[in-house]
Amino acid sequence: MPVMLRNAFLAAEDSTFYKHAGVNPAAIIRAFIKNLQAGEVVQGGSTITQQVTKALLLSPERSLERKIKEAALAFKIDKFLTKDEILYIYLNHIYLGHAAYGVEAAANNYFGKHVGELTLAECAMIAGLPRAPSRYSPFVNPKKATLRKNYVLRRMLEDRYIKKKQFDLAMSTKIEIIKDYKSHLPEIPYFIEHIRRYLESNYSADVLYNGGLSVYTTIDLPMQEAAKKAVSKGLFELDKRQGYRGPLGHLEIEESVNDFFKSNIIEGKIENFLKEGDIIPGVVDSIDSKEGRVIVNMGDAIGVIPVANMDWARSPDPDVANKEETVTDPAKVLLSGDIIKVRLGLQNEEDEIWELFLEQDPAAQASVTSIDAKTGYVRVMVGGLDFKKSQFNRVVQAHRQPGSAFKPIIYSAALDKGYTPATIIIDSSIVYSDESMDEKWKPSNYNQKFFGPTLFRTALIKSRNVVTIKIVQDIGLGYLISYAKKMGISSDLTSDLSLALGSSEVTLLELTNAYTVFPNLGDLVKPIFITKITDKDNEIIEINKPVKKQVIPGDTAFIMSHLLQEVVKYGTGWRLKALNRPAGGKTGTSNDMRDAWFVGFTPSIVTGVWVGFDDNARLGKYETGSRAASPIWFYYMQEALKGKSVEFFKVPEGIVFVNIDPATGAIATSNSAKSVLECFKQGTEPKAGKEENEVEEDLFRMDF
């Protein structure tokens, strides 16, 4: 490390580091007086040794007890380690913003160079970060970062670490910050934590934290950022359909609104510069029912919520669908003094009043994972809306019912048992009895209707439950479970007919990975998160190369790929047509609208989305996989595929295409009202001259 970097940190954080015994009482008293005068925390009294203690040995809580422990441990550390050893630990562990721990990571993040290549000005900018990495980030607040850098340089001059000429040169030196930082440094906490858990369980905590490992991962940062934004957008839209859960709090008449905005009651203090789209706290000043508007105080700004911008704010009720009830009087929702969240619209230039939209943090959760179909590289892992609030990774840790998203596995198994897209099955009422429990089960379709003779392809496209149950009964539960395991489903599957409706819980990762067989013509890929791990000597200790295994026939996989494209064109995946490129997929909705899924693919990318409540509460009326999950898939894939050429699915040998009548499954004729181009395994296609598809012994026309 450059000597100037070390000196910059000493000047900024602890100028008497080499003189005190781990704690500097004079600095603590000085900071106390400064903070008392300012009425808030403007200066810290912790030494570098105390910061090491807090970062490595203690929790971040603010309490007198912790400060006492911190001081005691700092004395011990100072006794048993040399000053250089303490400084070495500090400079390699200190958090410097944007997922950078240590000065080497910070040099690479902000300047794209190694720490040994830093200029004096760059050293000063990095040394200014520990006090408040987000506030002084050169990415987010370049002006504040520059002011902080200048402060550090002045301190270095005062402490005689540099001369006046060096100071003047550094002050005038233009610092080049990596411009496209967002594509390099989005937050990927769920992915990082998944990697950390893997490393700790496979290599021990000591190797993880002290082994100097370099871990090369498969994450695609722009795709990850797109997925995060898609989750946020989709959940905010869903949340509006679920109703308003009420204000965050309430200020009584005697309480000062100004005092509220100076406090830390709500996350997200109002910055000096407000812009359209910001979501910030506000306090209801007054309500005008006649005009249908709410006046909101936002500290240094005033805004108005027209009732049209809060008409969604009905009381939450899972049995009431969006727009079945709308708010027409804001006084029935809010009171003066309510603490709320608002999103900024446009500001009127004349009176500087903002148009506002009522907001709230989504209560539901969502997860997204995206896999490279050819390599198995996991490109995206978004385990929830906000890692800071919930570290539970819903991609790999949540087992939920997939509903109809499990059906492609069932229909693939059926194709290998002799079914074809034109096979006819009777969609009719059926009752199953369980004598051991004296119970009866009468399954139904989503809309409670039955449709009589139904083509295999139609049953999948329209997600017909009863037909699927009859198919499972015919091919056998044992065969289906074995088939699902072959396709990569590792979770336990129930050996009863409810499996046809996706009642067995699976993770998003395993179901998404199972879908890789469709664009891969039957090849299942192994999900890979880490491509390579090297130790401190740059020796490879682990390497992971793409692994493919053919688990179902290529023609079966292609037919399913084609049928799942039909789901997008004509079925529950209709929202994805707007991609304007070949894509297939399947929605899934568990019993009583508790889980919403969409798993879909292009020739190169397989992506899965899950939406639901962690406590398994109902999402709400009509909140199916099509409505709640597929929009997130679309928002993400739209960005992930931007600028990429359109790909088409490869047709394997042994596949024939035939125009059929979608009502009968027979070869389409001039008398057919409609016709569709369907694919078949060679030799199984409908034959010309048949009025309808013949099935041996008329088996599928029977009610099982």
Asked if residue 320 and residue 261 are part of one domain, the reply reads yes
Widest pairwise Cα distance in the chain: 99
Q: Does 38 score more than 70 pLDDT? A: no
> Given phi > 0 = left and psi -120 to 50 = alpha, else beta, which region is 277?
left
Predicted local confidence at residue 634, as pLDDT? 98
Asked if residue 133 and residue 279 are part of one domain, the reply reads no
d(CA 67, CA 50): 9
Of 359, 383, 415, which residue sits at a domain end? 359
* Continuous segment of H or E residues that includes residue 127: helix 120-127
Asked if residue 661 and residue 536 are part of one domain, the reply reads no
Instruction: Give 327's contacts (C-beta < 8 A, 6+ positions apart).
Output: 307, 310, 311, 312, 313, 314, 333
In a domain, 680, yes or no: yes
Q: Does 579 score more than 70 pLDDT? A: yes
What CATH number is given to the structural domain containing 304?
Answer: 2.40.50.140
**Parallel, antiparallel, or unpaired: how do β-strands 293-297 and 214-217 relate?**
unpaired
In a domain, 449, yes or no: no
Predicted local confidence at residue 549, as pLDDT? 97
DSSP 524-579: EEPPBSEEEEE-TT--EEEE----EEE-S-HHHHHHHHHHHHHHHHHSTTGGGGGG
Reported as a single tens digit per residue, the pLDDT across 373-383 is 999 999 999 99
Work out the mean pLDDT of the chain and round it to a whole number: 89
- Do residues 416 and 475 lie in contact, with contact meaning Cβ atoms separated by under 8 Å? no
d(CA 358, CA 334): 10
Q: Residue 275 is part of which domain span?
A: 246-359
Predicted local confidence at residue 33, as pLDDT? 66
Asked if residue 144 and residue 46 are part of one domain, the reply reads yes
Reduced DSSP (H G I as helix, E B as strand, rest coil) percent helix, strand, coil of the chain, to 5? 40, 20, 45
**The residue type at 430:** I
Is 490 noted as a catalytic residue in this protein? no
In a domain, 299, yes or no: yes
Predicted local confidence at residue 131, as pLDDT? 84
Predicted local confidence at residue 688, as pLDDT? 77
Beta strands, E only, 471-539: 523-525, 530-534
Asked if residue 74 and residue 22 are part of one domain, the reply reads yes
Asked if residue 678 and residue 529 are part of one domain, the reply reads no
Reported as a single tens digit per residue, the pLDDT across 561-578 is 999 999 999 999 999 999
Is 436 noted as a catalytic residue in this protein? no
- Angle, alpha carbons 559-560-563 (nearest 5°): 90
Token pair belonging to 395: 């991609």
Asked if residue 101 and residue 180 are part of one domain, the reply reads yes
Of 48-52, 513-517, 519-523, 649-653, the range with the lowest mean pLDDT is 48-52
Closest CA to 305 of 295, 290, 291: 295
Q: Does 700 score more than 50 pLDDT? A: no
Q: Does 230 score more than 80 pLDDT? A: yes
Reported as a single tens digit per residue, the pLDDT across 492-518 is 999 999 999 999 999 999 999 999 999
In a domain, 460, yes or no: no
In a domain, 484, yes or no: yes
Q: Does 36 score more than 90 pLDDT? A: no
Of 185, 208, 233, which residue sits at a domain end? 185
Strand order in the sheet with 540-543: 214-217, 530-534, 540-543
Asked if residue 146 and residue 269 are part of one domain, the reply reads no
Closest CA to 131 of 76, 51, 61, 22: 51
Instruction: Give 662's contacts (C-beta < 8 A, 6+ positions apart).
Output: 455, 457, 458, 674, 675, 676
d(CA 22, CA 449): 76
Query: 263: how many CB neighbours lie within 10 A of its CB?
Result: 10
Judged on CB neighbours under 10 Å (0-12, 13-18, 19+), 222 is middle
Beta strands, E only, 408-507: 424-427, 432-434, 439-441, 452-455
Instruction: Give 461's contacts (C-beta < 8 A, 6+ positions apart).
Output: 563, 566, 567, 570, 571
What CATH number is given to the structural domain containing 40?
Answer: 1.10.3810.10
Token pair belonging to 472: 């499972």
Token pair belonging to 160: 């005689």
Higher pLDDT, 52 or 486: 486
Asked if residue 662 and residue 636 are part of one domain, the reply reads no
Q: Does 288 score more than 80 pLDDT? A: yes
Token pair belonging to 588: 């899934």
Token pair belonging to 433: 């009895």
Higher pLDDT, 624 or 268: 624
Of 359, 393, 419, which residue sits at a domain end? 359
* Residue entry with tokens 């057919």: 672
- Do residues 597 and 515 lie in contact, with contact meaning Cβ atoms separated by under 8 Å? no
d(CA 529, CA 507): 16
Predicted local confidence at residue 447, as pLDDT? 72
Query: 403: how many CB neighbours lie within 10 A of its CB?
Result: 26
d(CA 48, CA 15): 10
Asked if residue 380 and residue 332 are part of one domain, the reply reads no
In a domain, 213, yes or no: no
* Residue entry with tokens 């997600």: 463
| Catalytic pick among 137, 367, 404, 412 | 404
Supply φ then ψ for residue 422, to 5 degrees. Answer: -100, 5
Asked if residue 532 and residue 386 are part of one domain, the reply reads yes
Reported as a single tens digit per residue, the pLDDT across 154-174 is 999 999 999 999 999 999 998
DSSP 437-456: TTEEE----TTS---EEEEH
- Angle, alpha carbons 57-58-64 (nearest 5°): 140
What CATH number is given to the structural domain containing 575?
Answer: 3.40.710.10
Within 342-423, residue ranges assigned H as helices are 407-415
Predicted local confidence at residue 39, as pLDDT? 55
Token pair belonging to 321: 């669908």
Asked if residue 275 and residue 169 are part of one domain, the reply reads no
**Parallel, antiparallel, or unpaired: how do β-strands 540-543 and 530-534 relate?**
antiparallel
d(CA 164, CA 166): 5
Q: Does 81 score more than 50 pLDDT? A: yes
In a domain, 370, yes or no: yes
Q: Is the dihedral of CA 486, 492, 498, 502 positive or negative?
A: negative
Supply φ then ψ for residue 540, to 5 degrees. Answer: -70, 125
Predicted local confidence at residue 652, as pLDDT? 96
| Catalytic pick among 13, 359, 623, 678 | 13
Beta strands, E only, 578-654: 584-589, 595-601, 605-612
d(CA 121, CA 118): 8
- Do residues 616 and 626 lie in contact, with contact meaning Cβ atoms separated by under 8 Å? no
The number of folded domains in the chain is: 4
DSSP class of 162: S
In a domain, 100, yes or no: yes
